[in-house]
Structure 1
Amino acid sequence: MTPRDLSRRGFLATTGASAAIASTSALGAASSANTNGRLRVGFIGVGGRCQTHVDSAIKLQTGPGTVECVAICDVFGRYLDETGGKIESKTGKAPTRTGDYRDIISDPTIDAVVIATPDHWHATQTIAALKAGKHVYCEKPMTHTVQEALDVYQAWKESGKVMQVGVQSTSLPVWNKLNDDICAGKLGKVMQYQTEMFRNSSMGQWRYYQLTKDMNPSNVDWDTFVGHEQGLAPKQPFDRARFAQWRCYWDFGSGMYTDLFVHRTTSMLKATGLRWPGRVVGGGGIFLELDGREAPDVATVIADFPEGVQGLVTATMCSSNVPIQQAIRGHNGSAVLGTGEDFSGYDFVAERPQVTLDSSIKSERVEVGKVGDTSFAHFENFVGAIKDDKPEQVNCSPELGAAAMVVVKLGAMSYREGKAYHFNRDSMTYGDADASWANHWEEMSARGDKAPHVPGWHAGEKGSKMVPEDYQKLAGPWKDGVDPAKA
């Protein structure tokens, strides 16, 4: 049997799922109409990360009964068997199994899909699901490329459906509180954020995903995984490492840029209210993990925003005990979050009163509250937005997901291509950088323009106005030999 034969009927029979549905019509026939008020969910890509979403859905199915796990799809037989068995044992109902995601998307009785496939499949499956009238929960990163991110964002806007991007930490209330405080002027003019993701291991990042003998062309629909017929990646021979540890390879992922940086960047964009960058550059290299991987083990992305804010995300996968602090810096003070992502609040660190000219600004701890399980909270938020028919209610919207992808992926492209990139938010296009970015700020300075602020700012000039010394009046060109002090 050839790899292509493994999709649909051939794949299902080979993996022991011959009793499952192997065509769109059969899948629809096996599902009852949604008459019980439950959200009927299908899962596309049920490997490691998806198990958390399956667990959340099971919890909602066996608890309040708001969800029903009705279908699962994967190219690997063992994943189908294990996930199908878990759902049946926990809920008493076996989900339909298929090797073709189109079976789930085209089934009119399925209300929502959870997409947790490798990155390079996200856009294709998400857009198809939205066009089919389904709500979508798509794991981060939202897409594999910048253009795909913009395409998904547009498809979502046209769909009217609920879509949640799987950056679970955005369900922490600290980001909304920070955004409120920033817009109210607590930090003064915000100029920079910094964030991190430091890890270490003895085997190399993502190599801890085990390779097993049953990962072979008889059990894996390799052609579908690669997606070469859809133009998603080049045709290539089967490789267990590329299947199970795909984040190491550019065809399928972008290493730490899209697996880790997107987490931190999304949170910072939510806190500051920033979205589309103006200029992005990235650097790094494979400095230690020289094990056949393609993505770097050290990387940094710097994004400059038109609102006059610089964003920094940096990390190494080979040293973890001395990370930088996550922080947002303003002229009057900074919000310091420390490291990690389980934040119950932030520390406000005030600048000196000699600088702020306001002795009432004091350092303090700002408590917001904890979330015990961000993955469940994020999934529950998705379900709640569907129930309330409010797409804007999700904690990580496609707009936020697309903006974060633009930042991190342009950074990855910069690293690989040796270029800096400009992004034009008016035309939603990007291209090679030039001198215009620096020229813009120099021209603003020459004119003495007011400092720009983050979206939603409503604090006037609080913390954003310089107070020059009297001697600064002596500055300026001597025109026709006349001292500017006498002009």
Structure 2
Amino acid sequence: MSQQEVTPKSSNRRNFLKAGATAGAASVVSLPGSAGATPAANERLRIGFIGPGGRGFGAHVKTLCQLHNEGRKIDLVGVAEVYETQRDKVADYIKEKTGNDPGRYVDYNDMIAKENLDAVCIGTPDHWHHKQIVDSLDAGLSVYCEKPMTKSVEEAFDVEAKWRESGQVMQVGVQSTSLPVWNEIRALLQDGKLGKVLGFQTEYFRNSDLGQWRYYKLVPDMSPKKIDWDRWLGKNEGLAPEMPFDRAVYKQWRRFWPFGSGMFTDLFVHRTTSMLKATGLRVPGRVVGAGGIYMEYDGRDVPDVATVVADFNEGVQGLITATMCNQESRVNQLIRGHYGTFMLGNGESFDGFEFVPERRQVTAQGDSAKRTFEPERISTTPVKNTTKAHFENFLDACEAGDPQLCNNPPDLGAAAMAVVNLGAQSYRNGEVYFVNEGSRDISTTDPGWAAKWEAKSQAREQANHIPGWQAGDFGSRLNEPEYMRYAGPWTDGKDPGDA
């Protein structure tokens, strides 16, 4: 996949302000790959919220209120929410915490049209993400969208293309991508610390006596009198099938396929995005998923045990696995190479990780004599509040007008979706999915995945590597024993060992 840059466009309110009344005071700073400039020093970012429900309120609204009160130049000016009670709750909270009474809307398009926004934060169910992102980008707005970036892979690729075309800042809400550890690991991998990178393994285990996502409480106030059900469904937009109002579907929508993909897109996307960032990998070449509903028989659609295996054209395999019914026996997050492994443990609170070298019989041979291989604890800077750090990163990018500053831009968001969502589709449909790296076409017809690797072996080719690899053949070739000169076909009865 081409890692092309996104060039900001001077199309939104902030740039018009800068070019007009504040032009004399504005300090124009050219950024690499940027056609725009930083906002004027006294300018404030006007932010609206689309669908601030559980995560949208608890993380988006509350975090930005905190940042506002800490002095960030932002104003929270609009709330678009189909549930009247939630809409008032969020707007009242903003007024209490910041002193500003935001506009209250049912339709986010009305908010975009009337509130003179610079940016939106999207916290709606997955099936709305694509349309709301595209509408916002088309309006010249910066976008923070909660993960997963979209409902489908095709939508994710479309958002990535629209984002590149728009030049706008966009951040996908996988907050762990704002940990410095992933950039630090990527630099070590590219330098050959592990030799040839072979695979990553990650997880997101949970356990609950209630069942996953049933901890979102249902209350009598949730009713068609208070909730615009057709708008929530996206009935007029064709986003979901028509169905009668159901509190469980409304509040616990992650359990049902029309609106989400269970642990695949709600949980696996966290760890997968981090691993893609650490390795530099993006779109997979081959994806298969497995699992089932083995215990949580509560009317749900999505499985309680699942695994995704993704193979990449760089010659790397990713394994993402979990159950929602056990969490005390979690697998380790790790990245494996020919000469060693980075062991990351679990979760997102890292102050370091372990380098575990392979045995000396492997690492003492050939080119590995250039380096020492001893067990090592590699320190990293922990981040106490990754959600806050992620929003600060988003605001920094908005203020600079530079999409490249975001820690989780749409190219990374789309790649993670390709892994986890194709894994979900594979589980449901019993198919193996293949992605054409250039065209982004998705197919269940095998293009000869195994055959291409067998051909490389027969031709004794060099290994493929992660993007940014700088270590040549280090840790990427096998030693050829002297006796292998006796291998090979006997042509016309001649012993190949006599050559």
Tell whether the structures are fold-level matches, with TM greater than 0.5: yes
How many angstroms apart in 1 are the aligned matches of 2:90 and 2:351? 33
**C-alpha separation between the residues in 1 aligned to 2:64 and 2:481?**
62
Q: Write the letter of the residue equivalent to 1:120.
A: H
Counterparts of 2:394 and 2:156, CA distance in 1: 20
| Runs (4+) off by over 6 Å | none
- Deviation readout 1:15-49 (Å, 9 max, x if unpaired): xxxxxxxxxxxxxxxxxx99951110000011110
Alignment of 1:309-324 (within 5 A): 309-324=316-331
- 1:384 counterpart = 2:390: no
Q: Which residue of 2 aligns with 1:66?
A: 73
Per the alignment, residue 160 of structure 2 pairs with 153
Structure 1 range deviating more: 348-357 or 197-206? 348-357
Task: Tell me the distance in 2 between the aligned counterparts of 1:225 and 1:178.
Answer: 41
How much does 1:425 deviate?
1.0
| Matched residue, 1:55 | 62
Identical aligned pairs, as a percentage?
Answer: 54
- Identify which of 33, 44, 47 aligns with 1:38: 44
- 8 Å CA contact 2:433–2:444 kept in 1: the answer is yes
- Residue deviations 1:434-487 (CA, integer Å, cap 9, x gap): 260000000000000000100000111111111021111111111122111113
**Distance in 2 between the 1:224 and 1:246 partners?**
15
Match 1:418 to one of 430, 434, 438: 430
Paired letter, 1:291: D
User: CA offsets, 1:4-24, max 9 Å, x none?
Assistant: xxxxxxxxxxxxxxxxxxxxx
Q: Which residue of structure 1 aligns with residue 290 of structure 2?
A: 283
Residue of 225, 231, 235 corresponding to 1:218: 225
Per-residue CA distance 1:121-158 (angstroms, 9 max, x = gap) = 00000000001000000000000001100110011001
Q: Distance between the aligned counterparts of 1:47 and 1:271, measured in 2?
A: 31
Select the residue among 398, 401, 405 that pairs with 1:393.
405
Structure 2 distance, partners of 1:49, 1:473, is 63
1:410 counterpart letter in structure 2: L
CA displacement at 1:173 relative to structure 2: 0.4
- Mapping of 1:235-246 within 5 angstroms? 235-246=242-253
- Three-state SS of the structure 1 residue aligned to 2:457 is helix
Residue 107 of structure 2: aligned partner: 100
Aligned length: 455
Letter in 1 for 2:398: I
Aligned twin of 1:180: 187
How far has the Cα of 1:105 moved from its partner?
2.5
Is it true that 1:432 corresponds to 2:478 in the alignment? Answer: no
Q: Is the 8 A contact 1:331 1:351 kept in 2?
A: yes
Alignment of 1:122-133 (within 5 A): 122-133=129-140
Residue 15 of structure 1: aligned partner: none
Question: How far, CA to CA, are the matches of 1:364 and 1:312 in structure 2?
Answer: 24
Provide the rounded CA distance (Å) in 1 between the counterparts of 2:277 and 2:258.
29
Where does structure 1 lack aligned partners over 5 or more consecutive residues?
A: 1-32
SS of the equivalent of 2:267 reads helix
**Structure 1: how far apart are the matches of 2:468 and 2:190?**
6
- 1:141 aligned counterpart, secondary structure: coil
2:102, 2:112 → 1: CA distance? 15
- Please name the residue that 2:335 is paired with: 328
Aligned pair partner of 1:84 in 67, 81, 91: 91
Equivalent residue for 2:18? none
1:223 and 1:277 map into 2 onto residues whose CA distance is 36
Tell me the amino acid that sits aligned with residue 293 of structure 2: I
- How far 1:340 moved relative to its partner? 1.1
Amino acid at match of 1:83: V
SS of match in other structure, 1:114: strand
C-alpha separation in 2, matches of 1:349 and 1:107 = 57
Equivalent pair of 1:105/1:128 in contact (CA under 8 Å): no
Greater alpha carbon shift after TM alignment, 401-410 vs 473-482: 473-482
**Separation in structure 1 between the aligned mates of residue 86 and residue 496 of structure 2, nearest angstrom:** 77
Distance (whole Å) between structure 2 residues aligned to residue 153 and residue 435 of structure 1: 25
Q: 1:473 to 1:435 in 2, by over 3 A?
A: farther
Letter in 2 for 1:406: A
In 2: Cα distance, 1:197 partner to 1:363 partner:
27
Asked whether the 8 Å contact 2:125–2:260 carries over to 1, the reply is yes
Cα distance in structure 2, aligned partners of 1:463 and 1:162: 38
How far 1:108 moved relative to its partner?
6.2
Q: 1:170 aligns with which of 154, 174, 177?
A: 177
Within a 5 Å distance, the mapping from 1:406-485 to structure 2 comes to 406-434=418-446, 436-485=448-497
Partner residue in 2 for 1:264: 271
Deviations for 1:189-229, whole angstroms, at most 9, x for unmatched residues?
Answer: 00010000100000100011001111111001100111122
> Which of 327, 346, 349 matches 1:339?
346
Q: 1:72 to 1:159 in 2, by over 3 A?
A: same
3-state DSSP class of the match of 1:407? Answer: helix
Residues 279 and 433, structure 1, Cα contact 8 Å, conserved in 2: no
Aligned-pair RMSD on alpha carbons? 1.3
Deviation at 1:104, TM superposition (A): 2.2
Match in the other structure for 2:29 = none
Question: Secondary structure of 2:54's match?
Answer: coil
Which residue is 1:369 aligned to? 381
Distance 1:406 1:97 in 2: 35
Q: Does 1:206 align with 2:213?
A: yes
SS of residue matched to 1:422? strand
Alpha carbons 2:273, 2:416 under 8 Å: kept: yes
Contact 1:419/1:433 (8 A) holds in 2: no
Tell me the TM-score normalized by structure 2. Answer: 0.90
* Aligned-partner Cα distance in 2 for 1:157–1:106: 23
Name the CA distance, whole Å, in 2 between partners of 1:438 and 1:344: 39
